[in-house]
Amino acid sequence: FAGIRLQKDGPYYGIAAWISVHDLNISRDQASFANMYVGNRVNNKENFIQVGWMINPSVLGDGRPWSYGFWRGVNGAGCYNTVCPGFIQVSKDDPLSEPLPYAPEGKETLLLLFSR
């Protein structure tokens, strides 16, 4: 886990993270995530967005790493991936809820770059 907390008001124009993708042997009642998280809290109201990959057999149906996004607004509403009312996937290059390739053990690690 790595994090940074900014004390100054923006403006901020983007964020980037390199995240490695791994094949993990987990059971159906386990999950593993690697993500980038950006959030804000004012007067105990928080909104955030996170993107990355996860292995979650009970949600995704298998043990492969999948890309995902999750957000929640200050009103408490939020959702995973593209199962949001009104959500439109714009980028064809970085689709959400897609299985990801991973590097076999002992090989070079696959890295994802998330930036905006």
**Buried b / exposed e across 71-84, counting CB within 10 Å, b at 16+?**
beeeeeeeebbeee
> Can you give the pLDDT at residue 109?
62
Residue 106 lies in a domain: yes
Helices vs strands, H then E, count in the chain: 1, 6
**2 occurs within a structural domain:** no
- Domain residue limits at 76: 42-115
**Residue-level pLDDT at 89:** 77
Q: Which residues pair with 99 in a beta bridge?
A: 66
User: Does residue 29 form part of some domain?
Assistant: no
Residue 70 covered by a domain: yes
Residue 104, by phi and psi: left (phi above 0), alpha (psi -120 to 50) or beta? Answer: beta
- Residue 31's pLDDT is 94
Q: For position 115, what pLDDT does the model report?
A: 61
What per-residue confidence (pLDDT) applies to 55?
93
pLDDT < 70: residue spans in the chain: 1-2, 103-116
Largest CA distance in the chain: 48
Q: What is the pLDDT of residue 113?
A: 62
pLDDT at 17: 80
The reply to whether 94 falls in a domain is yes
> H or E segment at 77?
none
